[in-house]
Every structure is written in structure tokens, then in C-alpha cells.
A and B are shown apart, each in its own frame.
Chain A
Amino acid sequence: MSSRKSTTWIAGTCLVVSMLGSVFLLKNTDRIRPGDIVDDALYISSAKLVRKASLGFNGLMACIYWTRTVQYFGHRHYNRERTYNELAPLLEITTALDPHLLPAYQFGASFLAPAPPNGAGQPERAVRLMQYGIEHNPANWRLYYDLGFVYYTELHDYKKAEEVFAKGSQVPDAHPFLKVLAADMATHAQDFNTARLLWSAAYESTKEATIRQNAVDHLRAIQVDEDVTNLQIAVTRFVQTNGRIPTSLWEVVSAEHWRGIPVDPDGNPYELSLDGQVLVANPDNFPFITMGVPPGYQPGPPKSHAKG
């Protein structure tokens, strides 16, 4: 073998071996390093400083920060973490870098507002974020809709929700359902149908698959909550009539002259606990339900359902 060939052979082997070795070592290092420390590191917390450091390319920097926000939230949400310490600062930096980055407001509010584990449980900061968004994008009716949504679903401040929906309905080219929502807030704020209308509007007003999926999950949860409420009323009526808790839902079905045991959106019949509570067969399939879960229930990893 010539000297040149042997050099090529040795150098090539060294290159491949050292490359594989470094990948192997990095994989091992990742296992050793505490993930939370890496996740929580917000190197620069000042939006102004990041803006200056971007040398005028703040649009690109905002995209990078937004992607980082999505990754931060997605990672912690998937792991059912209950703290999202860096979420609000990340969103605030993102929107300060680019006040016209609409997805950061729309998704940001839905990341920030819901209670853990579905969100950061910071509806007040979500409201501030949306107000900042409206201030910089006053002609965008979607932002009013999203702000009203936070007031309605998380803060249960129906008066404020009504005001915001009404204000949003005055924006040129606003979707007509804002007027309907404003009217509903005034009269039927706590009805299942109002909630259903709100989430149906969320589904229909976007093409973004993630928002649509979230809306589908909420619509399924509303259906379950309504079913469980009605079934629970029937069970209470049975107890009042017969002076005892029914042994199964079949007794309630028979007393109410129904055709069969009502089923949840997945087609599974509802169940009855020994103490007369109506339960969902698989609560993990309905991440946003507020009724029908057994006492002490701990939700599993997040799931999504394509069918509404």
C-alpha cells in the first residue's frame, strides 16, 4: 500500500471512529444532564436587549423565540409538568421582538391561561399578552375573540368577555359570530350551548390543525360534561323516588324509559359508582372534562382525538 493510500485509510478511519464516538458520548451526556435546568434556562430575559442584539433582524429572532416557546411548552406539556416558569417571559420577548406575530398571541393565550397540566395557569398574564396584541394589531378581530375566550373559559368573567366580544365585533370584517357570542355572554354565559358555540367558532375560524384539535377535544369534553350532568340529575331523581342508590345505570334507564345507557363521544357507555356518581369509562380520552372522573383521578399523558 502506498504512503498516500495508507494515510487516507488511517485518517478516514479516525474521522469515522471519532465522529461515532462523539455522538455516543453526547447521547450519554444528555442522559446525565438534568433536563429541567436546560429547559428553564432563559439566557436573556430582557426583550429590549434581545431586540438590540438582533441588529434589526428582530423578525427572525421573534421566529426563533416563538419556536423555542412552542418547544418549551410542548415538552413540558407532554411530560405533564405543572410549572411553566419561562413560558410568559418567552412569549413576552417573542411579542416584543415582533408585535405582529399573531400566532404568538393566539397560541400563547391558550398555553398560558388554562390551569396545569393543560397550561401554565396564568390567565392574567394571558390577558396582558392579548391586550398587548390588540394594542399593536387593533384591526385583527381574532385577538378580541381570543381575549374574550380567556375571560370566559378561565376567569369566568362573563361581563368582560361580553365587552371584548362586542368590541371585536365592531372591527371591520369581523366574523359575525362575535356579535352572537357577545349576546350569549349577556344571557346564557354558563350554558353548555354557549360553550359549544364558542369552541365550534374556534374550530371553524382557523385552518390550523393544533387549534382545531384543541377545539375538538373541548367539544368532546362539553358533550361529556352535559351527559354526566343530565345523567346525574336522573340518578338523583331515582334516589328521591326509590329512596336508594341505583345498583346500575340500567335501573335509571328503565325508570326514565330510555332506549339504552347513554354513551360518551367514543361510544363507551357511562358507568355508575357505588356511591351513585356517574363516571366516564376512560377519562384519559377526555382531557378537559370537569365531571365524570373518579375521586383521586390523575390524568395520564395527553392524547388527542381526530373525530369530534
Chain B
Amino acid sequence: MNARIASIAYNTFREAVRDRVLYNLIAFALLLSAAAIFIGQISIEIERLVVINLGLTAVTLFGVVIAIFVGIGLVSKEIEKRTLYTVLSRPVRRWEFIVGKFFGLAGTLVVNTFFMAIGVFGALLYVAHRFSGADAAIFAALYFIILQFLIICAVALLFSSFSSPLLSAVFAFSLFVIGSFADDLRGFATLTHGLTRWIATGVAYLVPNFSSLNVVSAVAHQQPIAWQLILQNTFYALLYTVMALSGAVLIFDRRNLK
């Protein structure tokens, strides 16, 4: 990573922290503590499952919300405050600006996920009193969640490179929802014929497949995650992220900023 990208990424991270993005950790901590303490009293034999399911779901949803709402403002805010012109008047190329913003937001989300993961493991230790070897699969689930964040950050940046913040948020969130149904979309595509089938299959493969990146339930039941899946998902997320970032760079590079 060149120094200019690193500098933009670092400042994006600092800005996110200054915008109190990490305050969500307080809500997360309260949610997990309450779940760990109260679920045992109102339900039967699912304390551990709830801590893992709720913890990892919350990590995902908090992160998705941050990725979308911070991501959509990364470009538009800079244009609105006119700070973008100051940045671009220096020897910074437009693609470096986009990539730097991406790494800054991704870094914020990784730090956020790191602290939430500590919370999940803390709550798990509280309800289960000890860790088992199978709990290591939680790391795989957290890794997949980070991969999801990379995709969403890139997608949010892609939309924000040509659209208004409100529409970008709607597009990015819709894509997250549609991506969660990616397996079903492929199922629907197989039910159609002719040109419709081609289009439906194309759409099904074009939207990000978040369902294969969601192993929360499996991990909660201490099912191991195959190395092949980890590798495949890693490559898939990286490719999708590069694809969305490339799109963002292409659009932003041609955008008239006057």
C-alpha cells in the first residue's frame, strides 16, 4: 500500500472514531450482558447458543449498519465539505482516494469486530464457564463476517461514487438483503426457462452471496468449518470487493467534480 493510500485510510479511521462510530460497542456490550444473564432465567438450555447466535448476529448487523452509513458518506461528505478538492489538489489520484477510504472503513470495522469478539468470548466464558476446542470455529465465523464487511464497504463506496447518500444507503442495504437470499435466487433461476433463466441466473450470480458467508448457526452447534469453504469464501470476497472497488474507481475517475 503506498503512503498516500495509507494516509487516507488512517484519516478515515480517525474520522470514524471521532464520529463516535465505536460507541456501538457500548450497546453491544449491554445487549450481550443482558442476554447472558437473563436468557438462562427465561429459557431452557440455550444460554450458550444464544450468546453465540446473538453475539455473532449483532456483530454482523452492527457492522453492516456502520459499513453502509459510514461508507455512503465517505465520498459525498468530502464533496459537500469541499475537502475533497484539497485532497485531490495534492499529488493524490482519484483511485488512491477511493482505495484509501475503503481501507480506512475496513480498518474501522475490523477494530470494531475485534472488540465485539472479545465481548462474545467473554459472555461465552460467563455462561459456559470454560472454552472447548470446538469454540475455535467462532473465529471462522468472525472471519467470514469481516469478509462480508469488506464486500459491503466496497459496495457502499461503489454506490456513493455516483449516487446521493440516501439512495446509496437504500441500494447498499437492499443488496445486503438480496445477497442474504442469494441461494434462493439461484433456486428461482432454475425454475425459469429461456431468456428469463439466463437473466435470473446472471442476477443471482451478480449479487453478493452473503448466505455462504453466514455460518453462525453451524458454529453455534460446534460444527467444524471446512478449510475449503474458508479458502473459497476468502477468494470470493476478495474478488467481489475488487470488482466493486474497480467499479467505484471507474465511476469516480470519470465523475465531474466541478
Q: Which residues of A contact B (CB under 8 A)?
A: 52, 55-60, 62-63, 66-67, 70-71, 98, 100-103, 107, 208, 210
Determine the distance from Cα of A62 to Cα of B53 in the docked complex, in whole angstroms.
10
Check A58/B42 contact, CB under 8 A, given A52-B181, A63-B53: no
Question: Does A100 contact B210, Cβ atoms closer than 8 Å?
Answer: no
Determine the distance from Cα of A208 to Cα of B43 in the docked complex, in whole angstroms.
12
Smallest CB separation, A72 vs chain B (Å): 12
Residues B14-58 near A (CB distance < 8 A): 39, 42-46, 49-50, 52-54, 57
Q: Find chain B residues with CB under 8 A from A66 CB.
A: 43-44, 46
Q: Is the interface of A mostly helix, strand, loop or mixed?
A: helix
Determine the distance from Cα of A66 to Cα of B45 in the docked complex, in whole angstroms.
10
Smallest CB separation, B218 vs chain A (Å): 8
Question: Does A56 contact B180, Cβ atoms closer than 8 Å?
Answer: yes
Question: Does A63 contact B54, Cβ atoms closer than 8 Å?
Answer: yes
Question: Does B181 contact A67, Cβ atoms closer than 8 Å?
Answer: no
Determine the distance from Cα of A98 to Cα of B49 in the docked complex, in whole angstroms.
11
Determine the distance from Cα of A63 to Cα of B39 in the docked complex, in whole angstroms.
10
Q: Find chain B residues with CB under 8 A from A102 CB.
A: 45
B196 at the interface (CB under 8 A from A): no
Question: Does B45 contact A208, Cβ atoms closer than 8 Å?
Answer: yes
Instruction: Give the interface centre of B53, B211, B214 by most chain A CB atoms within 10 Å.
Output: B53
Smallest CB separation, B193 vs chain A (Å): 24
Check A56/B211 contact, CB under 8 A, given A100-B221, A101-B49: yes
Q: Find chain A residues with CB under 8 A from B214 CB.
A: 56-57
Q: Find chain A residues with CB under 8 A from B180 CB.
A: 55-56
Show 17 A/B contacts (Cβ-Cβ < 8 Å), sorted by A.
A52-B181, A55-B180, A56-B211, A57-B53, A57-B214, A57-B216, A58-B217, A59-B52, A60-B50, A60-B54, A63-B49, A66-B43, A70-B43, A71-B42, A71-B43, A98-B217, A210-B44
Please tell me the size bucket of the interface on B: 20 to 34
Question: Does A67 contact B43, Cβ atoms closer than 8 Å?
Answer: yes
Question: Does B46 contact A101, Cβ atoms closer than 8 Å?
Answer: yes
Determine the distance from Cα of A120 to Cα of B50 in the docked complex, in whole angstroms.
26
Q: Is the interface of B mostly helix, strand, loop or mixed?
A: helix
Determine the distance from Cα of A151 to Cα of B194 in the docked complex, in whole angstroms.
52
Smallest CB separation, B36 vs chain A (Å): 13
Sort A-B residue pairs by CB-CB distance and give the 3 closest, nearest first.
A59-B217, A103-B45, A67-B43
Contact of A60 among B43, B44, B216 (CB under 8 A): B216
18 new A-B contacts, CB < 8 A, other than A66-B43, A66-B46, A70-B42, are: A56-B210, A56-B216, A57-B53, A57-B57, A57-B216, A59-B57, A59-B221, A60-B50, A60-B53, A60-B54, A62-B53, A62-B217, A66-B44, A67-B39, A67-B42, A71-B42, A98-B217, A103-B45
Smallest CB separation, B187 vs chain A (Å): 12
Residues B135-184 near A (CB distance < 8 A): 177, 180-181, 184
Q: Find chain A residues with CB under 8 A from B184 CB.
A: 52
Question: Does B43 contact A59, Cβ atoms closer than 8 Å?
Answer: no
Q: Find chain A residues with CB under 8 A from B216 CB.
A: 56-57, 59-60
Q: Find chain A residues with CB under 8 A from B220 CB.
A: 59
Q: Please name the residue on chain B nearest to A103 by beta carbon.
A: B45
Determine the distance from Cα of A59 to Cα of B54 in the docked complex, in whole angstroms.
9
Determine the distance from Cα of A208 to Cα of B49 in the docked complex, in whole angstroms.
15
Q: Find chain A residues with CB under 8 A from B50 CB.
A: 60, 63
Smallest CB separation, A210 vs chain B (Å): 6
Q: Find chain B residues with CB under 8 A from A67 CB.
A: 39, 42-43, 46
Smallest CB separation, B145 vs chain A (Å): 12
Smallest CB separation, A225 vs chain B (Å): 28
Question: Does B57 contact A60, Cβ atoms closer than 8 Å?
Answer: yes
Smallest CB separation, B54 vs chain A (Å): 6
Q: Find chain A residues with CB under 8 A from B49 CB.
A: 59, 63, 101
Contact of B44 among A52, A58, A70 (CB under 8 A): A70
Instruction: Give the interface centre of A55, A98, A101 by most chain B CB atoms within 10 Å.
Output: A55
Q: Please name the residue on chain A nearest to B210 by beta carbon.
A: A56
Determine the distance from Cα of A57 to Cα of B218 in the docked complex, in whole angstroms.
11
Q: Find chain A residues with CB under 8 A from B211 CB.
A: 56
Contact of A55 among B43, B52, B54, B177 (CB under 8 A): B177
Smallest CB separation, A55 vs chain B (Å): 4
Q: Find chain B residues with CB under 8 A from A58 CB.
A: 217
Determine the distance from Cα of A58 to Cα of B53 in the docked complex, in whole angstroms.
9
Q: Please name the residue on chain A nearest to B50 by beta carbon.
A: A63
Determine the distance from Cα of A264 to Cα of B214 in the docked complex, in whole angstroms.
55
Q: Find chain B residues with CB under 8 A from A103 CB.
A: 44-46
Would you give the 0/1 interface string for B191-217, flagging 1 where the beta carbon is closer than 8 Å to chain A? 000000000000000000011001011
Smallest CB separation, B129 vs chain A (Å): 12
Q: Find chain A residues with CB under 8 A from B44 CB.
A: 66, 70, 103, 107, 208, 210
Q: Find chain B residues with CB under 8 A from A71 CB.
A: 42-43
Q: Find chain A residues with CB under 8 A from B53 CB.
A: 57, 59-60, 62-63
Determine the distance from Cα of A101 to Cα of B45 in the docked complex, in whole angstroms.
10
